[in-house]
Amino acid sequence: MREFRHPQGSPEWLQSRCGVVTASMFKVARERLKSGPNKGDFTEAAKDYAFKVAYERISGELMDEGYQTWQMERGHELEPAARYTHEIETGCVVEQVGFITDDDGVFGASADGFIGSDTGLEIKCLVSAKGIRKLWFAEDMSDFMDQVQGGMWITGRISWHFALYCPPLAAVGKELFLRVVERDQAYIETMEKDLREFAALVDRYEAELRAAPKVAA
Cα–Cα nearest to 107, from 23, 33, 209: 23
**pLDDT (0 to 100) of residue 5:** 87
44: pLDDT strictly greater than 60: yes
- Is 30 in contact with 191 (CB distance < 8 Å)? yes
Task: Give pTM, 2 decimals.
Answer: 0.91
Cα–Cα nearest to 137, from 112, 169, 160: 169
Q: Name the band, by pLDDT with cuts 50, 70 and 90, for residue 157.
A: very high
If one compares 56 and 65, the residue with the highest pLDDT of the two is: 56
pLDDT tens per residue across span 21-37:
999 999 999 999 999 99
pLDDT tens per residue across span 78-125:
888 999 999 999 999 999 999 999 999 999 999 999 999 999 999 999
Phi, psi of 160 (to 5 degrees): -145, 130
CATH of residue 80's domain is: 3.90.320.10
**pLDDT (0 to 100) of residue 9:** 80
Mean pLDDT of 146-159: 98
Residue 19 falls within a domain, yes or no? yes
Domain count, the chain: 1
The proportion of the chain whose per-residue pLDDT surpasses 70, expressed as a percent, equals: 93
Query: How far is residue 120's CA from residue 153's CA, in Å, rounded to a whole number?
Result: 11
Residue 95 falls within a domain, yes or no? yes
Residue 217 falls within a domain, yes or no? no
Structural domain of 17: 2-210
217: pLDDT strictly greater than 90: no
Residue 215 falls within a domain, yes or no? no
Residue 53 falls within a domain, yes or no? yes
What residues contact 67, with CB distance under 8 A and at least 6 apart?
none
Residue 51 falls within a domain, yes or no? yes
Residue 216 falls within a domain, yes or no? no
